[in-house]
Amino acid sequence: MKRAALYTRVSTVDQHPETQLLDLRQMAAQRSYEIVQEYCDRISGVKAKRPGLDQMMADARRGRFDVALVWACDRIARSTRHLLEALDELNRIGVEFVSFRENLDTGGPLGRAIVVIIGAIAELERNLIVERVRAGMRRARLDGQRIGRAPLILDSAAIQQDRQRGQSIRQIARGHGVSTATIQRELRKHAPTTQEKVA
């Protein structure tokens, strides 16, 4: 009986990996795999550091399982290069890679070839999404729409008056709905210079 490790990843803490785990457990049972460990990450796909994946790869190097089951290729890899590196390492240490959604198994050469193609398409799709977002932002700017936070508008005269009345930086900040650092910057901007003080 082959020993299997299950790996799942969800993008945010609001999502749950149980759907992925249910499918992977059923697949392991159908193939008579013994599940020895389950790894999970709650993190964006583009993040380089993934504790669950890193631990799974470390355990694979120690020979703790024979097959790595994932729900989909994009769960394990952040790019085609990353996918290839993971597959190459698993192949070198004799661990098979099985993807539920794509129904892929690197136990054979065809499975490996398809995984590479799928990974390339997934990376292309992500790049296209990024480019569409950038194009949308450029279009919005051309149409005169503001991108990002609105500039902070402060009543400088009122801030100066509040300070002259003896209010603390914290009180002024609370009154104007801004941070204390913003108030300090504003007060420094209008502080009299040494020459002005002498005059």
What whole-number distance in Å separates Cα of residue 12 and Cα of residue 47? 12
CA gyration radius, the chain: 28
Using CA atoms, how far residue 112 sits from 74, 82, 95, 118, 126, in Å, is 15, 14, 13, 10, 21
Of 11, 44, 79, 156, which one is the catalytic site residue?
11
What whole-number distance in Å separates Cα of residue 93 and Cα of residue 37? 18
Q: Supply 4's token pair.
A: 């299997």
Count of CB atoms within 10 A of residue 71's CB?
Answer: 24
Those residues with Cβ within 8 angstroms of residue 70's Cβ, 6 or more apart along the chain or in another chain: 6, 7, 8, 24, 76, 97, 98, 99, 100
Active site residue 11: yes
> Are 8 and 20 in contact, with CB atoms under 8 Å apart?
yes
* Dihedral class, residue 65 (left if φ above 0, else alpha if ψ from -120 to 50, else beta): beta
Count of CB atoms within 10 A of residue 177's CB?
Answer: 8
User: Among all residues, which ones are annotated catalytic?
Assistant: 11
